[in-house]
């Protein structure tokens, strides 16, 4: 993608003497990355930081991220908090109800690897990646809203770097 200035033949025909040359693929990926609609899956203390990120101080909306209450309207799940074995099938069901392409962000130590419950609890999943494929991991207990914003920017970069054939997987 780029801007070509001062084309010798078309300089008078195009206002300003410049055109934008890009591919359909890059337009689709840019559109997808800049309009992520997310579904919250908050189960514990990390969910408080997740909700703070969507509030006015940190303002997810400026990144094009809009909260949706339905998995059928979402293309991103942000999972935050302890994931128990009873919650795992529900998380998987929500993930399966989402349309392709779909993405997952795992936020917090409990979501990423089980956190402090890793050795002491039989009822806690030892990481969300056993249930759904994860695109971005955000460690911390709980991670700050700035970390979640950085994770979302990382996901946007990943989406922009994809190929259209990757959506078919």
Are 28 and 40 in a shared domain? no
The reply, when asked if residue 34 is annotated as ligand binding, is no
Residue 152 annotated as lining a ligand binding site? no
45 carries a ligand binding annotation: yes
Residue entry with tokens 């990120």: 53
**Shared domain check, 86 and 40:** yes
**Among candidate residues 1, 5, 53, the one with its CA nearest the CA of residue 29:** 1
Residue 167 lies in a domain: no
Per DSSP, the residues of 33-94 read HT--EEEEEE-STHHHHHHHHHSTTT-GGGGT-EE-SSGGG-SEEEEES--BTTTHHHHHHH
pLDDT at 22 over 50: yes
Are both 93 and 58 inside the same structural domain?
yes
Closest CA to 135 of 68, 79, 58: 79
Q: At what angle do helices 46-54 and 145-161 cross, to 10 degrees?
A: 70
Are 52 and 122 contained in the same domain? yes
* CATH code of the domain in which 133 resides: 3.40.50.12280
pLDDT tens, position by position, 111-159: 888 888 878 888 888 889 989 999 999 998 888 888 888 998 999 898 8
More confident residue, 145 or 22: 145
Asked if the model's pLDDT at residue 167 lies above 60, the reply is no
Residue 46 marked in a binding site: yes
- Peptide bond preceding 138: is omega within 30 degrees of 0, i.e. cis? no
Q: Is it the case that residue 11 has pLDDT exceeding 80?
A: no
pLDDT, tens digit, for every residue of 25-62? 777 877 778 788 888 888 888 888 888 887 778 788 88
């Amino acid at each position: 993608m780029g801007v070509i200035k001062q084309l010798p033949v078309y300089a008078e025909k195009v206002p300003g003497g410049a055109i934008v040359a890009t591919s359909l693929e890059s337009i689709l990926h840019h559109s997808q990355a800049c309009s992520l609609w997310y579904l919250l899956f908050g189960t514990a203390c990390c969910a408080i930081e997740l909700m703070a990120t969507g509030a006015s101080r940190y303002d997810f909306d400026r990144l094009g991220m809009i909260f949706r209450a339905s998995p059928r309207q979402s293309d991103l799940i942000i999972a935050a908090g302890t994931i128990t074995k009873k919650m795992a099938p529900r998380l998987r069901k929500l993930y399966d109800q989402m349309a392709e392409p779909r993405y997952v962000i795992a936020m917090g130590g409990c979501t990423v690897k089980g956190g402090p419950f890793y050795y002491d609890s039989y009822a806690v999943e030892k990481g969300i990646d056993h249930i759904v494929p994860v695109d971005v991991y955000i460690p911390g207990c709980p991670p700050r809203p700035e970390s979640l914003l950085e994770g979302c920017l990382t996901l946007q970069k990943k989406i922009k770097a994809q190929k259209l054939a990757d959506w078919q997987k």
